[in-house]
Structure 1
Amino acid sequence: MRFEPVQTDDDRLNAYVALFRICFPDAQQYNLPFLRWMYRENPEGHAFGFDAVANGRIAAHFVGLPARTMTAGAERRALLILNVATHPDHRRKGLFAELANRTRTAAAQAGFDLLFGVANAQTIPGYRLKLGYQDVGGLDARLGVGRVPPIDWPAALAAARFFRVWTPQALQWRLRNPANPVDAWTLGDGVTAFAAATHYPGIRAYAERGDAGHVTSATQPGRASFARVFVGAVPTGARRPGLSVAIPHALRPSPLRLIFLDLHRPEYRLNGDEVLFSFLDFDAF
Structure 2
Amino acid sequence: MAELTLEPTSQQGLAAVAALMRRAFPQAGKYTEAYLNWLYFQNPVGPALAFDVREGERVVSHGAGILQRLVLHGRPVLGALMLNTATDADRQGRGLFSQVVTAVIEEGRRRGVAALIGVANQNSVGPYVKRLGFHDVRGLDAFVSVAPERIDVSRALAHADLRRDWDDAALAWRMGNPEGRLKVVAVGADALVVEGASTAPLVAARAVIPRRGLSAPEAPRSRLRPAVSLALAPAGASRRGVSLTVPDRLRPSPLRLIYFNLEDPADRLDPDRILFSFLDFDAF
User: Shorter-chain-normalised TM-score: which range?
Assistant: over 0.9
Question: What SS does structure 1 have at the residue aligned with 2:122?
Answer: coil
Gap regions ≥5 residues in structure 1: none
Question: Structure 1 residues 179 and 224 mapped into 2: Cα distance closer, same or farther (>3 Å)?
Answer: farther
Whether 1:134 and 2:135 are equivalent positions in the alignment is yes
Question: What does the per-residue CA deviation read over 1:140-173, in whole Å, with 9 as the maximum and x for residues that have no partner?
Answer: 00111111x2211111111111001112101000
Aligned to 2:58: 57
Gap regions ≥5 residues in structure 2: none
Check conservation: 1:204, 1:225, Cα contact below 8 A: no
Q: TM-score, normalised by structure 1?
A: 0.94
Aligned to 1:159: 159
For the residues of structure 2 that align with 1:224 and 1:103, how far apart are their CA atoms? Answer: 43
Aligned to 2:258: 259
Question: Structure 1 residues 223 and 174 mapped into 2: Cα distance closer, same or farther (>3 Å)?
Answer: farther
Question: What does the per-residue CA deviation read over 1:161-192, in whole Å, with 9 as the maximum and x for residues that have no partner?
Answer: 10011121010000101111111144321221
For the residues of structure 1 that align with 2:22 and 2:252, how far apart are their CA atoms? Answer: 20
Aligned to 2:106: 105
Question: What does the per-residue CA deviation read over 1:184-228, in whole Å, with 9 as the maximum and x for residues that have no partner?
Answer: 1443212211001011111001111123522548xx845675101
Check conservation: 1:68, 1:75, Cα contact below 8 A: yes
Aligned to 1:6: 9
For the residues of structure 2 that align with 1:256 and 1:230, how far apart are their CA atoms? Answer: 12
Shift of 1:129: 0.2
Shift of 1:26: 0.4
- What is the CA RMSD across the aligned residues, in angstroms? 1.6
Aligned to 1:273: 272
For the residues of structure 2 that align with 1:28 and 1:65, how far apart are their CA atoms? Answer: 20
Aligned to 2:181: 181
Amino acid at match of 2:43: N
For the residues of structure 2 that align with 1:245 and 1:205, how far apart are their CA atoms? Answer: 14
Amino acid at match of 2:46: G
Amino acid at match of 1:104: I
Question: Structure 1 residues 215 and 95 mapped into 2: Cα distance closer, same or farther (>3 Å)?
Answer: farther
Question: Structure 1 residues 164 and 224 mapped into 2: Cα distance closer, same or farther (>3 Å)?
Answer: farther
Q: TM-score, normalised by structure 2?
A: 0.94
Question: Structure 1 residues 222 and 97 mapped into 2: Cα distance closer, same or farther (>3 Å)?
Answer: farther
Aligned to 2:233: 234
Aligned to 2:198: 198
Check conservation: 2:50, 2:104, Cα contact below 8 A: yes
Amino acid at match of 2:117: F
Aligned to 1:246: 245
Q: Percent identity?
A: 36
Check conservation: 1:172, 1:216, Cα contact below 8 A: no
Question: What SS does structure 1 have at the residue aligned with 2:150?
Answer: coil
Amino acid at match of 1:142: F
Amino acid at match of 1:106: E
Shift of 1:49: 2.5
Shift of 1:99: 1.4
Shift of 1:55: 2.0
For the residues of structure 1 that align with 2:186 and 2:102, how far apart are their CA atoms? Answer: 42
Question: What SS does structure 1 have at the residue aligned with 2:196?
Answer: strand
